[in-house]
A and B are shown apart, each in its own frame.
Chain A
């Protein structure tokens, strides 16, 4: 329920930012037109309004970015590494409730030796490399 609400909020924020940004672009275009026509009063009005709208849209987008980063940090995967003590056959799978380090979880597919959970750790989603 909370996740749904959070997703809805995100979409609304994006739509709001896009609408405001589009209006700001239109207002800025008008401002330049008025400046060329010599109508300075309208130029100041539209330039100021457009600047305020751009600041508002950029701040919404930045807030969205922070939210996405937070959601990414919450989407951490916890993995269990299962290892065969006999032949070293290794399986990495998602953590299952009840797993603990050195828990015996069955027989090895290759040598029928005992498979044990060797380590449990969390891994963050891979970050995109910056050029």
Chain B
């Protein structure tokens, strides 16, 4: 930083020193001080550089930061892919090398139906999602022929987490390279601004991949856990695709609890199941209570239970549409109970606070049933979410 070392400037004053002092007129103290002149020159240079090249300097710094982030994302992506490959080999015992087929799966894409004419789009979307789901399941089953149904479901979730990481990496790399190629300050800046959120999401997916590989319940399974508590020790049946139901009684009311078929990673199609149950009972359902994990705001407590109105279910909206449609048809009130958590907590191993909230939710359901229905009524309680590691 400093050109001259201390105590080495004690030399006779030369003509050049005087010229630079006079020319620059920058040193307010000690006009013939070489060090002061150099410092002033340096400061002047910095001001000049930041004035004229500020944006370029900022772009360079951002590109350096993005370069590190892209490398980290690549590492996380490769790590998740290696974990998926290892788990497929361990569980599925394939005869051939599953690596090329896995790479093909990670590059799969989904084209949403055209929405220029939105009439009937829910049916189209539902159909496409079914096709995708079936294809994904059969591809994973082919990769891991010796895996049980539950293990195949877990593997499917693991491959999906790797797929999401692969996509995230490719999108970030695309904008990083585009910004670098075009030297566009604004492309780089936008990516840099979003970087903390992107990295948080990537780390959450990396955590999810580990949980899926081991079949551990995740935070999103909070609703399924509540339903499983209600279904425990009662006779179960599969009502629709991958959805199990069991009938129980709470305070003299008939309660049908439902959840996705566990313990493999599965979300099922609760919309279809609720529709079937309502039709089976000719619409004579007093109330539908939906329990699901929901995103909390920063600062809110994990595991906090809140009540609301409406169909508590995530996804693209097809399942919610079916529930709303059926409830409107028979004028059935739909109540929602949510367990709050962050996006990271929703896809990583279930936290103790979330697991403990299940008992609190059951108490809320009982209160709701007591206050809103009368003895002999039928109530449907739907536990929504990924049921990985949770049987019924």
Residues of A within 8 A of B (CB): 34, 39, 41-42, 44-46, 49, 52, 76, 78, 95, 97-103, 119-123
Instruction: Report how far A39 CA is from B33 CA in the complex, Å.
Output: 13
26 cross-chain CB contacts under 8 A? A41-B35, A42-B6, A44-B35, A45-B5, A45-B35, A46-B6, A76-B349, A78-B214, A97-B215, A99-B215, A99-B389, A100-B262, A101-B263, A101-B390, A102-B228, A102-B232, A102-B390, A119-B355, A120-B216, A121-B354, A121-B355, A121-B356, A122-B216, A122-B349, A122-B351, A122-B352
Known: A41-B35, A119-B355, A123-B352. A95 touches B225 (CB 8 A): no
User: Quick one: which of B214, B351, B392 contacts A97, CB cutoff 8 A?
Assistant: B214
B387: min CB distance to chain A, Å: 9
By DSSP majority rule, is chain B's interface helix, strand, loop, or mixed? loop
Task: Please name the residue on chain A nearest to B231 by beta carbon.
Answer: A102
Task: Please name the residue on chain A nearest to B151 by beta carbon.
Answer: A98
A40: min CB distance to chain B, Å: 9
- Docked-complex contact A41 and B9, CB < 8 angstroms: yes
Count: A-B pairs, CB below 8 Å: 79
A30: min CB distance to chain B, Å: 9
User: Quick one: which of B9, B150, B217, B352 contacts A101, CB cutoff 8 A?
Assistant: B217
- Docked-complex contact A101 and B351, CB < 8 angstroms: no
B102: min CB distance to chain A, Å: 21
Interface centre among B1, B225, B389, B392 (most CB of A within 10 A): B389
Instruction: Report how far A41 CA is from B33 CA in the complex, Å.
Output: 9
- Docked-complex contact B350 and A122, CB < 8 angstroms: yes
Residues of A within 8 A of B349 (CB): 76, 78, 120-122
Interface centre among A99, A103, A119, A122 (most CB of B within 10 A): A122
- Docked-complex contact B389 and A100, CB < 8 angstroms: yes
Instruction: Report how far A76 CA is from B349 CA in the complex, Å.
Output: 9
User: Quick one: which of A41, A44, A102 contacts B392, CB cutoff 8 A?
Assistant: A102
